[in-house]
């Protein structure tokens, strides 16, 4: 995303091709659920200034140390059972407080938020997309959300064991989607849907399992150690933490934690890419050297023959 300015004109922001594809994918995500189409369009409009002509307004929806331009952007899916506090977590991060039932409804926070987080002295934009609970039973919608993000925050309620079981099922669906294997529904049952061939090549995807409502010790039914064990048992490498959206405990660490996971995966991908390119160059060079050797050998073997022909002709 680039910012361009002209004399005597307000600053304008131009979408990159990658960001355009991302927004189109987000629109398709909710378009599959016709009753939610206008809902998502309103949320996306709230991310852009001047009624939908650019990205999210930094003044309104990108907070926390926005003096330096972002060095990059992370697209993160926030997903979990209804009532686990997904919206409360995002509002606490992006607004610094819990949702206020008395203030006007803000559809921007129904679909997630954009937030600046600092990693090793660099600012990064975290674009968090919240998956509405009503869509959890639609594998096609969940898969679409996974395909347009590079990490997921799986939220469960430490007072509700069922929400952790659902998080397990969502992990299985994420695993199968990013690996191109057979998908399973969020309930853990086999799904009739198949993963698109475009996803056949396994890709790196960061996961963070988050137990919310850690402050409610009286109602707690899932110990911290149990949540950690579940994260360790996942097939896809998963980090773990507990937070409290109500008190704000550990909330400020959530986005930096998933951001670091993404940066680590990006670094690993870059190293693998560079290694693959190096191996390809070595292969091409070896083929070229082999071709030159064959050509030189042919010249050495054929030279005496042509010399004999020249002598005979004389």
pTM: 0.66
Report, as an integer, the average pLDDT of 109-118.
79
For the ranges 2-11, 61-70, 244-253, the lowest mean pLDDT is seen at 2-11
Q: What is the pLDDT of residues 196-210, one digit of tens each?
A: 334 335 688 999 999
Query: Can you point out the beta strands (E) in the chain?
Result: 2-4, 12-14, 72-80, 112-119, 122-130, 151-157, 206-212, 238-242
Report, as an integer, the average pLDDT of 16-41.
49
Report, as an integer, the average pLDDT of 236-242.
93
Percent of all residues in the chain with a pLDDT value above 70, rounded to a whole number: 61
Q: Is the pLDDT of residue 51 over 50?
A: no
pLDDT at 244: 97
CB 48 within 8 A of CB 38: no
pLDDT at 307: 59
User: What are the domain boundaries of the chain?
Assistant: 61-272
Tokens 């639609």 locate to: 138
Residue 160's closest CA among 40, 247, 80?
80
pLDDT at 96: 82
Q: Is the pLDDT of residue 277 over 60?
A: yes
How far from each other are the two terminal CA atoms of the chain, in whole angstroms? 77
3-state secondary structure of 236: coil
CATH class of the domain whose range is 61-272: alpha beta
The contacts of residue 59 (CB under 8 Å, 6+ apart) are none
Report, as an integer, the average pLDDT of 234-247.
93
Q: 276: pLDDT confidence band, cut at 50, 70 and 90?
A: confident
Percent of all residues in the chain with a pLDDT value above 90, rounded to a whole number: 40
Q: What angle do CA 4, 10, 12 make, to 5 degrees?
A: 35
Q: How many CB atoms lie within 10 A of CB 106?
A: 16
Q: Is 116 left (phi over 0), alpha (psi -120 to 50) or beta?
A: beta
pLDDT at 140: 86
Q: 67: pLDDT confidence band, cut at 50, 70 and 90?
A: low
Q: Report how far residue 252's alpha carbon sits from residue 222's, in angstroms, rounded to the nearest whole number.
A: 22
Round the average pLDDT of the chain to a whole number and report it: 75
């Amino acid at each position: 995303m680039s910012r361009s300015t002209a004399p005597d004109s307000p600053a304008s922001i131009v979408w990159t091709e990658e960001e355009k594809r991302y927004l189109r994918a987000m629109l398709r995500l909710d378009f599959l659920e016709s009753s939610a189409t206008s809902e998502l369009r309103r949320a996306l409009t709230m991310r852009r200034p001047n009624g939908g002509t650019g990205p999210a307004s930094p003044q309104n929806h990108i907070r926390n140390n926005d003096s330096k331009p972002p060095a990059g952007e992370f697209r993160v899916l926030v997903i979990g059972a209804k009532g686990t506090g997904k919206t409360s977590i995002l509002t606490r991060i992006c607004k610094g407080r819990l949702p206020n039932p008395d203030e006007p409804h803000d559809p921007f926070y129904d679909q997630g938020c954009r937030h600046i987080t600092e990693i090793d002295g660099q600012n990064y934009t975290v674009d968090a997309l919240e998956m509405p609970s009503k869509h959890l039973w639609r594998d096609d919608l969940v898969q679409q959300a996974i395909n347009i993000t590079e990490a997921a925050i799986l939220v469960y309620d430490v007072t509700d064991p069922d929400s952790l079981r659902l998080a397990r099922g969502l992990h299985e669906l994420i695993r199968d989607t990013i690996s191109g294997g057979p998908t399973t529904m969020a309930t853990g049952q086999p799904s009739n849907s198949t993963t698109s061939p475009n996803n056949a090549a396994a890709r790196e995807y960061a996961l963070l399992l988050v137990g919310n409502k850690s402050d409610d010790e009286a109602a707690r039914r899932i110990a911290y150690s149990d949540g950690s064990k579940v994260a360790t048992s996942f097939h896809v490498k998963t980090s773990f933490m507990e937070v409290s959206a109500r008190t704000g405990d550990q909330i400020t660490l959530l986005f930096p934690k998933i951001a670091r996971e993404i940066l680590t995966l990006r670094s690993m991908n870059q190293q693998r890419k560079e290694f693959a390119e190096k191996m390809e160059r070595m292969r091409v060079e070896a083929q070229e050297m082999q071709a030159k050797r064959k050509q030189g050998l042919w010249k050495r073997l054929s030279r005496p023959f042509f010399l004999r022909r020249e002598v005979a002709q004389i």
